[in-house]
Amino acid sequence: MAGEYSARPELNRGTLLWAYERMVTIRRFEEQARREADAGKLRGMHSSIGQEAVPTGVCAHLRDSDFVLGTHRSHHHCIAKGVDLNEMMAELLGKATGTNKGKGGTMHIADINKGMLGANGVVGSNIPVATGVALSASVRGSDQVSVVFFGDGASSQGSLHESMNLASIWNLPILFVCENNRYAEATPFEYSVAGASVSGRAAGYAMPGVTVDGQSLPDVYAAAGEAVRRARAGEGPTLIEAQTYRYQGHFGADNPLGYRTEEEEAYYHARDCIDRLRAHVLEGEYATEAELSDIDESAVAAVLTAIQFADESPFPADDELTTDVYVSYR
Ligand SMILES: Cc1ncc(C[n+]2csc(CCOP(=O)(O)OP(=O)(O)O)c2C)c(N)n1
Ligand SMILES: [Mg+2]
């Protein structure tokens, strides 16, 4: 029965406001993180601004006990999955109070208690890991779901294709979610991906492949809801291609106008996922301007609290250097 397995089956007021709060929090967090990077307090940061609707629409259907695996650009995945902002910001700044005790940084944030099994700087590498996680859920007979986010740049890698094949023959509870932001660093999608479609590749592995407007929270929410329902019901994997856009450069020092046009950027800014969700909420009279402004303010406050927490936290002690190299897992 549709919706039976979903944490939030209806896109009602509660879900819309939860999603709006997550998306605004992601954007404010990323803006703060960029300021910290520009001030030299962290390195190697990849901003997810513009792509907030994708993990939010997916994670709206997940429980803490479900699993998410991310990429080098994963702050939005972590926040959508409910990882603590204070611990995330502390991790970015390399502090002992961070999610990984300050030893992982922006590209390795993980919080097992929240089912966030890790960001990962190696493109495509988390896809087979997520497939193994789904295999574990299946073998244990649980109804947990594994979700892996990856970019268009990973969509032609063998790791994705081997994983989709295994997920299909073993009927695994996994969502392969491609955030197609049209570029892998400076390489355009049209140049590097044959067939002009990521979702179309699902046909080769006998699973549903769906393309959605990744700048529309309701569209992502609907596609993910069906995919999560299928996974929990034992109906197997789904590939979702969410078409989205990163507003900033690939990383801090990258100027994207070297490889894309102002017109193209304006096109996507005019379809901003937060602006559109705000309009959707107001037009549907799900909430008032005042209620949304309260959410805006509390998102700013939460990020300011996080940066204060991170700034006031200590760096790890020297004798922490060789701890946590191996982790025993019960
Ligand atoms: C295996 C591997 N090859 C190359 C790189 C260098 N690299 C880092 S990010 C990136 C582009 C990834 O593009 P995409 O998958 O579209 O993700 P996006 O950056 O657009 O979010 C590359 C080539 C890497 N980290 N790992
Ligand atoms: Mg990309």
pLDDT above 90 for 328: no
Rounded distance between C-alpha atoms, residue 261 and residue 255, angstroms: 11
Q: Which ligand is nearest to the CA of 54?
A: 1
Q: Which of 30, 45, 49, 72 to mutate to test the pocket of ligand 1 (most atoms within 8 A of CB)?
A: 72
Q: What is the pTM of this model?
A: 0.96
pLDDT above 60 for 134: yes
**From edge to edge, which strands make up the β-sheet containing 238-243?**
116-118, 67-69, 146-151, 174-180, 238-243, 209-213
Here the tokens at position 209 are 């492949």
Q: Which residues pair with 180 in a beta bridge?
A: 243
Instruction: Label residue 31 left, alpha or beta by phi (over 0 means left) and psi (-120 to 50 means alpha).
Output: alpha
Which pLDDT tens digit goes with each residue over 35-75?
999 999 998 899 999 999 999 999 999 999 999 999 999 99
- From ligand 1's centre to the CA of 91, what distance in Å? 21
CATH class of 13-254+263-310: alpha beta
Rounded distance between C-alpha atoms, residue 155 and residue 184, angstroms: 10
166, 116, 98, 179: which is closest to 138 by C-alpha?
166
pLDDT above 90 for 115: yes
pLDDT above 50 for 2: no
Amino acid at 105: G
Question: Residue whose CA is closest, atom 21 of ligand 1?
Answer: 151
Relative to the CA of 157, which ligand 1 atom is closest? 1
Q: Which ligand is nearest to the CA of 48?
A: 1
| CB-defined site of ligand 1, < 6 Å | 71-73, 121-123, 151-154, 181, 183-185, 250
Which pLDDT tens digit goes with each residue over 232-276?
999 999 999 999 999 999 998 899 999 999 999 999 999 999 999
Relative to the CA of 48, which ligand 1 atom is closest? 21
Chain centroid offset of residue 13 CA: 22
Per-residue pLDDT band at 1 (split at 50, 70, 90): very low
Classify the C-alpha dihedral 216-221-227-231 as positive or negative: positive
Which pLDDT tens digit goes with each residue over 93-112?
999 999 999 999 999 999 99
